[in-house]
Structure 1
């Protein structure tokens, strides 16, 4: 290598070293919640010969957005804020080369690429080689829920064996906010975030021992930000599947556990488990020992007899264990006489009910007033015919029994006025002739049978008056 080439290489290396003296450390991507704040963690380096110009009184931090032109792209100046610029401050000490900055009340229009520029007397440098991209979002990012079983992390697996120690961990990257974010579990109170961990990852653990009660239970972790008197939330959930042995095993009897001899009865066994019951086994107690009968969820006797009386046991089993349940089956002998008595009692009750109903209906009808035209008409029809019973003693009856009486009706029928005159005249003539005939018969023979009529005078007057009215 000749001298000229060595000189060019030396100058190139020297330039690279000098350029590397101006460097900056920035996060590549930052998420900020709309209406909240955003923090840019920042630190920088300058060449040693410029350290003399970096002092607290003269040092100024400037942020440029979506470009490096100072006059066009400037959006923040620590010493000379301008209208339309971002509201914020540099929380780091520029004299110590810490340029950490916070911007307040950001919105979606503030999304973009941000470059830092340092100015202090003769020191003026824009760090174009590195920048931060800020993305302003409307809702907070989702937290993440992870499952730990017996302190071992489970990846994409939510099956837990009953009795295991379970820990659910919820983690979220916190965003800048005026009030600390909180994590909330579905079964725990809120966990406040203290100031020291506001800018760090937020973690909450929910620990318990798994039982069958947690099977298919969904646990939800929610992160909440309070932004300008409103809450912005995001959540993540996990549903546990707990494997457990049979629980709540029971036996049901249809139609009942006490049945009549000769009838059909079915015993049904049920149980809760995960995974499902593999088999049901039936047995019964006989002389102090268990006798295996059959397998299957149901046990049926189509025609029972006294030998079926006793205790029956059902055992439900899966790969995690077994549980049994028992029931007493009682068989009663049928009693036909009792059945007939029951039927007779029911029939008698029905007859009595019908009779009482008829009597009540008749009494109710008898109490109806007859003041209407239909009632008057019906009463007229009922009184059209009036019968007078004359008590007559036939010949020969007086000797044996003077009280023997024959009732003979005399019917009065409603007639016209001319018919009424004739009827009254005929009635008087009939009565006179009957009286004359009676007197002649009495003269012929005193021992002969007498024909007489027992007529109450008061009744005759009433009948005459009634006949006159009709």
Structure 2
């Protein structure tokens, strides 16, 4: 069959996606390289063409065009897996979006996309046209990741309706969540009291993504905190002044984490008493002594103002003897007493 003017045959070759045209005029035609279709479902095959610049002036657009589709070999009967993509870095505490796209060879019955995630999320689905004019369904999930979601699996599943049944395809992905150091802890070996001169090893551990880049050790002694070493492990030969509390700090590009405190106790050695303790005790004893002196002198001053009982009696008798006959009576009583004897 010969091609008349503006009539051409469209031959779709699914092996390579090449669309050929035979006729008096050359046309630039294109179609998708590949189409995944399912038995029992419809398929929409897009095809477009353009007129070369050198023929645009002579091409008669009023004449109806016609074409023929030719299939060279049986089409695929299994749905392809959805495509999962991540928009930006998945970082702890920062909302992130995951995209899942699945082809829709039959736009009238597009696939349904569902998600499996280890946390709560919101979804948004839409049917969109691709650059090659095929259709696909795009599902977007938004959630806020935690460090507990690191290395957890997520799944996007596409369910295609085919007649009275469904066909499924899915894509799995492992979450890679960036987070600052967590579960930071310090340990000491041996953890029992040690003698001066013994070897002691302190170890710091932490979970982080990306991994910890810097470990720092601190010592607490006499109420003061001092940085003493760097590195995940800290080994020392114990001296008298090494006793006290130790802790470590783990740091990566997203932040840092502090560990618990561990005690390094030295056997047979008592920790020196803080000089401030002596100062406080001395001041307290001084105040008690001063208060005691004040109380003593106040008591002495009060008692010195009162006459003794003996002096009071003598003075009373002298006054009575001079002004009344009582003194004579007392004298008489004494005389009578001696007479009786």
TM-score (ref. length: structure 1): 0.39
> Which structure's residues are more often helix, by fraction?
1
1:259 aligns with 2:259: no
1:224 aligns with 2:159: yes
Alignment of 1:25-424 (within 5 A): 28=31, 30-34=35-39, 36-40=40-44, 127=66, 129-131=67-69, 133=71, 136-149=75-88, 159-176=89-106, 181-187=111-117, 201-225=136-160, 227=162, 231-256=166-191, 258-262=192-196, 263-303=198-238, 305=240, 307-331=241-265, 333=267
Whether the 8 Å CA contact 1:27–1:41 is kept in 2: the answer is no
Residue equivalent to 2:332: none
Distance 2:80 2:246 in 1: 59
Distance 2:124 2:194 in 1: 68
Whether the 8 Å CA contact 1:311–1:326 is kept in 2: the answer is no
Distance change >3 Å, CA 163–CA 194, structure 1 → 2: closer
Distance 2:84 2:93 in 1: 21
**Aligned-pair distance for 1:251?**
0.5
**Aligned-pair distance for 1:285?**
1.5
**Aligned-pair distance for 1:287?**
3.0
Whether the 8 Å CA contact 1:284–1:313 is kept in 2: the answer is yes
Distance change >3 Å, CA 327–CA 143, structure 1 → 2: same
Q: Deviations over 1:61-87 (max 9, x none)?
A: xxxxxxxxxxxxxxxxxxxxxxxxxxx
**Aligned-pair distance for 1:210?**
3.4
Distance 2:126 2:247 in 1: 59
RMSD over aligned Cα atoms:
4.2
Structure whose CA Rg is larger: 1
Distance 1:173 1:269 in 2: 50
Distance change >3 Å, CA 164–CA 192, structure 1 → 2: closer
**Aligned-pair distance for 1:183?**
1.4
Q: Deviations over 1:388-429 (max 9, x none)?
A: xxxxxxxxxxxxxxxxxxxxxxxxxxxxxxxxxxxxxxxxxx
Distance 1:299 1:42 in 2: 68
Residue equivalent to 1:387: none
Residue equivalent to 1:465: none
Choose between structure 1 and 2 for higher RCO, CA contacts under 8 A separated by at least 6 residues. Answer: 2
Number of matched pairs: 221
